[in-house]
Every structure is written in structure tokens, then in C-alpha cells.
Amino acid sequence: MVTLTDNKELGYRTLLLATGGRPRTLNIPGNNLQGVYLLRTLTDANILREQITPGKRIVVVGSGFIGLEVAASALSKGAQVTIVEPQERIWPNIVSPELSAYFKQQFEKHGTQTYYGYGATEFIAGSDDKLASVRISPVQGSGQSQDIACDIAIAGIGIQLNTELAATADLEIDPRHGIVVDEHLETSVADIFAAGDVAAYPDPYAGRMHFEHWDNAIASGQIAAANMVGGDEPYRHVPYFFSDQFDLAINMLGYPSSSAQIVTRGDVNANKFTALYVQDGSLRAALMINDDAQMDLVRDLIAARAPVSNPQDLSSPSFDLSSLQPKDE
């Protein structure tokens, strides 16, 4: 039985939880000032679209995909943009230092100021009680705090999974990944399923994980629906996300790790290349920049854990990636 907020009760045979997540907030002084924004919904996006105009001074806190996409969009509209990020570089867990430097350079050549290794510690109001500046401080070391004047601050620091409803039903919750499900996306309680951001599913390679992207939401929703009506389909899906920044069409497939051996194929200077990730002797991920012609092939190779005996061979444009396909026994 499901109880609604108006105390109406609904019966069910099978139930799907697709509660997603909500944006994390910066728990610092001034976070409720006019001019401080989060971005999660269409309404949020429409408000920011109206607010970001040429000459506006924008501080983006966080350089994940949301933060960088907002920064790129604001720059394209003629705004002045500063990026503040507590980590030492862009996406340190999924790209190499060289690739971090590549993305940083793309933003700086468009006029972005960047402060890596800094965290926002306070939003400061002006005489009109609206946001006037953001105070930032180094995360480590003894550097000086400084105030960055701005009209708008946008926090893009990830989401908090909405697991509260599942917890009230005594479903098993993984504190890191969300609502625990089996390979059929069924929770610890029979006939209750979960899909999307909030589903902590067992991945054949990565183990227990969740994935915050609409591609996973669609794919997991389809499998959950099939199984809710009597199917027996395991969830097997190579993680995928994309991002458009300036003239860069960015596609990421698989299980990227900065600890993998990363081999570049293509022309970095021409902004058309693919970084292939080899770990434990097999192809695990690919980061494609304006270079998605072989995306389907690469996705299949990652799913098959295609063995790679000599990773440096992949850098040659004459190397045929389809030759990595495992031979049928």
C-alpha cells in the first residue's frame, strides 16, 4: 500500500521508485542571498537563461559536468566567468593530468579565470542585500582568502540521492550509491523496483554502483518495466554520458579511471581525438572529443572487455579497432 500526502491509499502489485536526487547546497554563510543559484530543473535553467547576459560577472562553484556546461554557456553569452573548484584539477578521478590541462586551457582561452584548489567559504551581500562577491580560500596550505566580485553565483557540486521514501519502507540502502537492487533492478523487498540515479545496481565490472545521467535513467527504466510485468532481463549497460562545451562534443563511455593507461588517438591540437583507457589488459573506457564515428564499436568493445596486449598500438590511426573484438570460442 502507498500512502499519499493527502492520506489517500493506493494498492499495487509492483512498484517502481524513481525518486532521483536533489542538488547539494553549499552550507556556508549567505547561501540564501538573491543571486545564488542551483541548477537541477527546467525552471532553474530558464531563470538562469534570463539572468545571464553580456557583461554579467558569474562565479561557478564546482567544475563537474554541470559546472563546466554552465560556464561554457555563460561565456558564449558574453558573461565574465570565474570557476572555483576545491580539487586540484578538472575531473581528477576520471582523466589524466594532461587531459585536465587540456580542458582547463579550453576554458582559459575563452577568458575564464580559474581557481583550482580553492573552496567557497561565504557569499557576501552588497548594500542592496543582494550577492556582491564570493569569498574563497585555499583548501590546503596557508594561502590567502580573497573575495571575487560577482553578480551571480552558481553551485554545481553534485546531488543528494532521494532515498528517504525507500528508507521508510525498510528497503536496503547503500549510503554511497542509493537504493540497493539486484541485477533485475528489484529491491530488497519483493515486487518493489528502483531505476535511474537512485538505483544502486550490481555492474559486471564496477560492482555496486549508481550512475547519474539520463541515459542510465532511460535504460534502467526500460529494464525495470520489463521485469515488473514478468520479464527476466538483467541490467547490463555500459555507462555513457555526453557534454557539449563550446565547439567540443564530449562523449564518455565505460569506466574511466585516472589510474588506467590512457592512450590518445587522433589530433589533440585540432580538438578531434579519442582517449582510450586500458586497465588490467582490457579496454575499459573511452573519452571522445569531436570524434564519435566509432562510438558503437567502442561501446561493444568495452562491454566485451576486449583484451589489449599492447596499448600503444591504439594510438596509430592505421590500427583497426575492430580487430580487438574477441573471437567467438
pLDDT tens digits for range 40-49: 889 999 999 9
For the stretch 120-150, pLDDT in tens is 999 999 999 999 999 999 998 777 899 999 9
Q: What is the pLDDT of residue 44?
A: 92
Q: What is the pLDDT of residue 141?
A: 74
For the stretch 214-232, pLDDT in tens is 999 999 999 999 999 999 9
List the beta bridge partners of residue 38: 155
In the chain, pLDDT over 90 holds for what percent of residues?
A: 95
Q: What is the pLDDT of residue 21?
A: 95
Superfamily of domain 22-159: FAD/NAD(P)-binding domain (3.50.50.60)
The stretch 184-205 carries a mean pLDDT of 97
Q: What is the pLDDT of residue 326?
A: 86
Domain ranges, ordered by start, for the chain: 22-159, 163-228, 247-324
Q: What fold characterizes domain 163-228?
A: FAD/NAD(P)-binding domain (3.50.50)
pTM of the model: 0.89
Q: What is the pLDDT of residue 85?
A: 96
Q: What is the pLDDT of residue 239?
A: 95
> Do 22-159 and 247-324 show the same overall fold?
no
36 has a pLDDT exceeding 70: yes
Q: What fold characterizes domain 247-324?
A: Enolase-like; domain 1 (3.30.390)
Q: Predicted confidence band at 272 (pLDDT cuts at 50, 70, 90)?
A: very high
The stretch 176-181 carries a mean pLDDT of 97
For the stretch 275-306, pLDDT in tens is 999 999 999 999 999 999 999 999 999 999 99
Q: What is the pLDDT of residue 241?
A: 93
Q: What is the pLDDT of residue 328?
A: 67
